[in-house]
Chains A and B, each alone.
Chain A
C-alpha cells in the first residue's frame, strides 16, 4: 500500500517471518528462496486485498496441494481480523460494533451485516433461528456471516483464558443451532415451493445446494471462533494448538473422523501415483538377458558382426501376496488402509490373497474379486468376515495356528506374506512357530506394526517374538511410511 510507512512494513515483515516459521513447524518444506519469493511477491499486490495476499503467499510457499489445508489454517490464524472487538472480555466487546472495522477486509462489507451485527443481541433464540433459516434459504453470504458471529457470541460461551480448544466451542455452538433440523426444514420448504412432487434427482440437487450452504455457514462459525481465540491467546499459541499433521503424517492409530476423510482423499491420488510409478519401474528398471537370436539376426546388417546386442524384454516375476491383517479395534483403520493400498496396486502382483482375524481367521479374498469398488469390498470385510472365535479379543496365536492349518499348504516360494497388527495378544500363547514355518516356505515375511517403535514389546505386545522369524518388522504409522514400504515391496 502506498501509505504503508516503514514501521508498518517492518511489522509486516516480522509477521511474515513468524508465519513462515509456523509453516515450517507444521511440516511444510519452505526453503529460503521460497521465503524470499514470498517477500517479493507481496510487494506487487495491494495489501488491503486479503485474498490476493493469500494466493500470493500460497503460490510462493505451498508447492503441494495436500499441504493447502495446513497452509490455510496457519494463514487464518496469522492474518485474520484482529482487534479489541474480538476480545472475549465482555466489557470491551459490548459496545463495539464488530462491523466498524470491516474496512480492513473489503470482502465482507455487505449491507446485511450492518443491520444485523449491532442489533443482534436483543433477538430471542427463535428469532435468531428464523433469521438463520432465511439467510440459508436465500444463500445470502454476508447475512450468514453476521449470523455466525451472533451465534458464536451467544452460544459458544467463550471465556477469556479458558484452556479449551476451538472444537469445544464449535460443538457448543452447533448443538444450539440444530443445523440438521434446519436442513430438514429447508428441504420441506423446497418441496412446498415446487408445483409438483420433487423427483429424487431434484430433491438431491436441492439437498446438495443446502448442504453446501450449511457447510459454508459452519466454516464461518469456525473462523469466527478462531478469530476470537486468536484475540484472546495470541497468534503463536493459537497456531500451535491448531497445528495438525499433514495428511501423509496422520497417525493411523489415533485418527479422528475428520482426519479419516482427509486420509481417504489423500489415499486415492497416492494409489494412482504408486500404480503408475511401479508400472514404470517395472518396464524401465533394467534390461533383460541378452537375446541371442535377435542379436544374430541384426548382425546380418553389419556383415555378420554382432555390433548391436539385443536384449530380451524384461519380465521380472510378480510376487504373490498374502496379507494377514488384524482388524480388531484400534488397528482396524490401519488394516483397512493397507488392504486398500495393496488392492489398488494388485496389478503389480500375480495374485493377492487377504485374510483377516481377531481371534478367529477368515479369508476375504472373495470380497475383492469381481468388484471394482475397493471401498465397498472393505466395508463388506468388516461386516461379513467371520473373525470371532471366542470372545472377540485379539488372539494372534490361535489365528496363526488356524491359518497354518487351513492355508499353510498354499504358501510357496513365490509368496510374500505381509502381517499387519500391533501384536497385542492379550497374554495368549504366541504360537510363533507358525511364523517360523511360514518363513521357511515363503519368499518373504514382513510385519507392519502401526504402533510407534517405542511401544513395541511393552504390556501385552509381543511383536518381538514374531519379528525374530520375519524378514523385517516395520513401524508403519502413517501414509508416508506405508507408501515407502509398498514402494519397496515390488
Chain B
C-alpha cells in the first residue's frame, strides 16, 4: 500500500507486518489462537494504520491471549504493562535513578572540585541515569516488540492521560532529555474489562475491538485445539451446553477459559457423553456463583414447555 499519510515521519512508513487478513488468521491458528475474521481483520488494519487496538469484552475471552499470540506470530518481544489503581508515571513511563544520581554527585565532589554545576547537571540527567519502564522501553526498542497495556480500565482517569502521547504519536517527552520518538511503531494492545468508561480521548486514538464469547462452532474448535484427547462429538456437546448456559441470565456467564477447564475435566473423568447427571455434577467448574449453579441445575432438570423463556421483567405491571 502506498497511500501512507505523508505528514508522518519515517517510522510510520514501516513495512506492513502482514500481507493479508487470511495470512494473519492462519498464522494465529498455527500458534493455537483461533480468531474470527473480525479479530484478524482489525489486527491487520491496526498494523496498516499504525494504530493501537483497544480490546474490550467479558473476562476470559482471550483478550490478553490475543496480544500474546500476535507477539508469538511476529516473533516479537512482548512488553507488558499491568495497570492497577495508583499506577503512575514512574511505574509506567520512566524514572530517574535517584540513588545513582546521588552517588554521581558525591563522587564528583570528592575528586574534582573544578567541574562546574552545569556539567554535572547535564551528566546526571543523561541516559545512564534513566530507568526505563514498560512504555518507554517499548518506544525505544530496536527489536520488534508488542506492547500490551493490560486492564487499562483499572487506572484512574487522570492516569490515562499518560498514555495519550504514546498512543497517538508514539513518543515520550522527558523534560530533561527532550522527546524520544519511536524507532518503529510497535503493535499496541490495550485491554479493558469495561469496569468504567474510558475517556473519549483514549478511545479516539484506538481501533476498537469487542471480543465476545465465540459462537458455537468456534468454541468447539477452540476446545478441540486446546484440550488433547477430546473427541469431536464431546466437543460438540460441550459447546452446545455452554451456549445454553450463556443464554440464561447469570451473574457471571462461563468464559472460554472455563469451558476449556470443563472440557479437560470431562476428559480426565473419561466422560464420553454428557448427560444431565455429569453436567450438574461438574457445572461448578463453569460457574463460580452458588446462585448461578442452582439456577442452571434447575433449568437443566426442568421439562421444557414454553416456547420462549419469558422475561422476568415483563412490561406489564
Q: A333 vs B312: C-alpha distance in the bound complex, in angstroms?
A: 12
Q: Does B100 contact A (CB under 8 A)?
A: no
User: Taking CB as reference atom, which chain A residue is nearest B276?
Assistant: A201
In the bound complex, CA of A385 to CA of B299 (Å): 27
CB A34 to nearest CB in B, in angstroms, measures 6
B286 to chain A, nearest CB (A): 14
From B3, B5, B275, B312, name the one whose CB has the most chain A CB atoms within 10 angstroms: B312
Minimal beta-carbon separation of A22 from chain B (angstroms): 19
A55 x B240 contact (CB < 8 A): no
User: Which residues 287-317 of B have a CB within 8 angstroms of A?
Assistant: 289-291, 295, 299-304, 307, 311-317
Does A55 lie within 8 Å of B275, measured CB to CB? no
Q: Which residues from A are CB-within-8-Å of B290?
A: 372
In the bound complex, what is the Cα–Cα distance between A336 and B315 (angstroms)?
A: 10
Known: A264-B313, A284-B85, A373-B291. 9 other contacts (CB 8 A): A40-B49, A44-B1, A56-B42, A63-B208, A184-B307, A203-B303, A208-B247, A269-B194, A382-B317
A328 contacts across to B, CB distance below 8 A: 317
| CB atoms of A379 and B302 under 8 A apart | no
The distance in angstroms between the C-alpha atoms of A12 and B256, with both chains bound, is 39
Q: In the complex, are the beta carbons of A276 and B195 less than 8 A apart? A: yes
Q: List 27 A-B contacts (CB under 8 A).
A: A40-B49, A45-B21, A51-B37, A51-B38, A59-B45, A59-B207, A59-B208, A60-B208, A64-B203, A65-B194, A184-B307, A200-B303, A201-B241, A208-B243, A208-B244, A209-B240, A255-B315, A256-B315, A269-B194, A273-B196, A276-B196, A277-B195, A280-B85, A284-B85, A329-B317, A336-B313, A382-B317
A379 touches B313 (CB 8 A): yes
Q: Known interface pairs A273-B194, A276-B195. Does A204 touch B41 (Cβ–Cβ under 8 Å)?
A: no
Contact A261 B311, CB 8 Å, known A63-B208, A200-B301, A208-B247: yes
Complexed CA–CA distance, A257 and B311 (Å): 9
Whole-angstrom CA separation of A402 from B157 in the bound complex: 46
- Report if A183-B3 is in contact (Cβ < 8 Å); known contacts: A60-B207, A201-B300, A205-B241: no
A52 to B43, CA, bound (A): 12
Mask: chain A, 7-24; 1 = CB below 8 Å from B; 0 = not: 000000000000000000
Q: Count contacts between A and B, CB distance < 8 Å.
A: 142
The CA of A29 and the CA of B197, in the complex, are separated in Å by 14
- Contact between A200 and B276, CB atoms less than 8 A apart: yes
Chain A residues near B314: list those with CB within 8 A: 260
Q: Does B251 contact A (CB under 8 A)?
A: yes
Q: Is A460 an interface residue (CB 8 A)?
A: no
The reply to whether the CB of B29 lies closer than 8 angstroms to some CB of chain A is: no
Complex Cα distance, B300 from A205, in Å, reads 9
* Residue with the highest number of chain A CB atoms closer than 10 Å, among B56, B194, B200, B313: B313
Which residues of B sit under 8 angstroms from A235, Cβ to Cβ? Answer: none
Interface size class of A (residues with CB under 8 A): 35 or more
Shortest Cβ distance from residue A255 to the other chain B in the assembled complex, whole angstroms: 6
Contact in complex: A37, B41 (CB < 8 Å): no
CB-nearest residue of chain A to B53: A59
Chain B residues 231 to 251 lying within 8 A of chain A, measured CB to CB, are 237, 240-241, 243-244, 247, 249, 251
B28-70: CB near A (< 8 Å → 1, else 0) gives: 0000000001100110110011010110110000000000000
Q: Are A56 and B41 in contact (CB under 8 A)?
A: yes
Contacts of A273 in B (CB 8 A): 194-197
Q: Tell yes or no: A207 within 8 A of B by CB.
A: yes
**Within 8 Å of chain A (Cβ to Cβ): is B104?**
no
Give bound CA distance, A432 to B156, whole Å.
44
Chain A: CB-nearest residue to B47? A44
Which residues of chain B from 211 to 228 have any CB-CB distance to chain A below 8 Å in the complex? none
Query: Which residues of A have CB within 8 Å of B56?
Result: 65
* Interface of B toward A, CB cutoff 8 Å: 1, 3, 5, 21, 37-38, 41-42, 44-45, 48-49, 51, 53-54, 56-57, 85, 156, 194-197, 200, 203-204, 206-210, 237, 240-241, 243-244, 247, 249, 251, 274-276, 279, 289-291, 295, 299-304, 307, 311-317
Chain A nearest CB: distance from B160 CB in Å? 14
Residue of B nearest to A264 (CB): B313
B200 touching A58, Cβ below 8 Å: no
Q: With an 8 A cutoff between CB atoms, is A349 at the interface?
A: no
**Contact residues of A between 257 and 278, Cβ < 8 Å to B:** 257, 260-261, 264, 269, 272-273, 276-277
Determine the residue in chain B with the shortest Cβ distance to A256: B315
1/0 contact trace for A373-398 toward B, CB 8 Å? Answer: 10110110010000000000000000
Quick one: given A41-B45, A58-B208, are A257 and B247 in contact (CB under 8 Å)?
no
Spell out A's residues near B (CB within 8 Å): 29, 31, 33-34, 37, 40-41, 43-45, 51-52, 55-56, 58-60, 62-65, 68, 180, 183-184, 199-201, 203-205, 207-209, 212, 255-257, 260-261, 264, 269, 272-273, 276-277, 280, 284, 327-329, 332-333, 336, 372-373, 375-376, 378-379, 382
Tell me the minimal C-beta distance from A193 to chain B in angstroms.
16
Contact between B1 and A43, CB atoms less than 8 A apart: yes
Distance (whole angstroms) from the CB of B43 to the closest CB of chain A: 10
Main secondary structure of the interface of B (DSSP, over half): mixed
Interface of A (DSSP majority class): helix
Pair A45/B41 contact, Cβ less than 8 Å: yes
Q: A65 contacts B210, CB within 8 Å? A: yes
In the complex, what residues of A have CB within 8 A of residue B21's CB? 45, 52
- CB pair B3–A43 under 8 Å, yes or no, is yes
- A200/B300 contact (C-beta < 8 A), A205-B241, A372-B251 known: yes
Give the distance in Å from the alpha carbon of A183 to the alpha carbon of B3 in the complex. Answer: 53
**Residue ID in chain A nearest B303 by CB atoms:** A200
Docked-complex contact A55 and B196, CB < 8 angstroms: no
With A63-B208, A375-B312 in contact, do A52 and B41 touch (Cβ < 8 Å)?
Answer: yes
Q: Which residue of B lies closest to A180 (CB)?
A: B307
A205 and B244 contact, Cβ closer than 8 Å, known pairs A62-B208, A68-B210, A372-B251: yes
User: Is B204 touching A200 in the complex (CB atoms < 8 A)?
Assistant: no
A63 to B199 Cα, complex, angstroms: 11
Cβ contacts under 8 Å, B37 to chain A? 51-52, 55
Distance between Cα atoms of A199 and B302 in the complex (Å): 10
Q: Which 7 A-B pairs have the closest CB atoms?
A: A332-B317, A372-B291, A201-B276, A63-B203, A59-B207, A63-B208, A375-B312
In the complex, chain B residues whose CB is within 8 Å of the CB of A52: 21, 37, 41
- B303 to chain A: which residues have CB within 8 Å? 200, 203
Contacts of B204 in A (CB 8 A): 31, 33-34, 63
For B42, give its contact among A37, A55, A184 (CB under 8 Å).
A55
Is A372's CB under 8 angstroms from B45's CB? no
Residue in chain B with minimal CB distance to A257: B315
- In the assembled complex, the Cα of A273 lies from the Cα of B195 at a distance in Å of 5
A204-B54 CB under 8 A given contacts A43-B1, A52-B21, A52-B41: no
Closest residue on chain B to residue A51 by CB atoms: B37
B240 touches A63 (CB 8 A): no
From A44, A199, A332, B49 is in contact (CB under 8 Å) with A44
Contacts of A56 in B (CB 8 A): 41-42, 45
Chain B's nearest CB lies how many Å from the CB of A317?
23
Which B residues touch A376, using CB under 8 A? 312
The residues of B that contact A59 with a CB separation of less than 8 Å are 42, 45, 53, 207-209
Residue of A58, A261, A378 with most chain B CB atoms under a 10 A cut-off: A58
Cβ B304 vs Cβ A204 within 8 A:
yes
